[in-house]
Chain A
Amino acid sequence: EVQLVESGGGLVQPGGSLRLSCAASGFTFSGSAMHWVRQASGKGLEWVGRIRGKGNSYATAYAASVKGRFSFSRDDSKNTAYLQMNSLKTEDTAVYYCTPGYCSDDVCYPRFDPWGQGTLVTVSS
């Protein structure tokens, strides 16, 4: 059974940093692109970005709203993906989900299945 467990969320002040983790099991993690999607309370889904696997040089892509502040990494030996969030803003407050996805060449299809339970990040003073 495929499982994803996000952790690391919490309360942080504006301008602060936080690192989220996504522990995966039940599929070939090393060969999968890992995506992050967030959802502010009562709002819709927003793609944050993705990191590809070793075969694609761990290539990363970011949404314009987080580029330059967020970064992705992964440890294939631990089947874990990470989201490092710096210079946090109040508008980054959301539940953050990780999910595996399939990429072909430069296209990463949003066939996201399954999703983790999410971890809540609250940016507030």
Chain B
Amino acid sequence: QSVLTQPPSASGTPGQRVTISCSGSSSNIGSNYAYWYQQLPGTAPKLLIYSNNQRPSGVPDRFSGSKSDTSASLAISGLRSEDEADYYCAAWDDSLSGVVFGGGTKLTVL
């Protein structure tokens, strides 16, 4: 049981916009930044979004992040086949004094 809650799966067709949610609590997302990672099959995770809505250099602006209260969201617009991957949210948890991850969302491009 992960501290952060994500839907196990999401899907969309090429060109569509999809959103992945991440629900937390006051001790993690509610009081700290949210982060998002993309993990392509057979590879290590890659930082996609940091500090709620910032993109590292090289990440396309099709990817965007937002945060509201104790939840965060990752939006992917102009969906492409190469976006098919697992997506994880993460945050620092003040109560646990550690990093917590969501259980991951498997994105399928139909």
Contact = CB atoms under 8 A, between A and B. Distances in A.
Q: Is the interface of A mostly helix, strand, loop or mixed?
A: loop
A106 B31 CA distance: 14
Given A108-B99, A109-B33, A118 B44 contact: yes
Interface range, B side = 20 to 34
A46 B1 CA distance: 11
Nearest to B101: A45
B50 A111 contact: yes
Nearest to A46: B101
B97 A45 contact: no
A47 B88 contact: no
Interface in B52-107: 56, 88, 90-92, 94, 96-104
Given A97-B44, A110-B90, A117-B44, A45 B98 contact: no
Interface of A: 35, 37, 44-47, 49, 61, 63-64, 97, 106-118
13 contacts: A35-B99, A37-B45, A44-B101, A45-B101, A45-B104, A49-B98, A107-B94, A110-B35, A111-B50, A112-B35, A113-B46, A117-B44, A118-B44
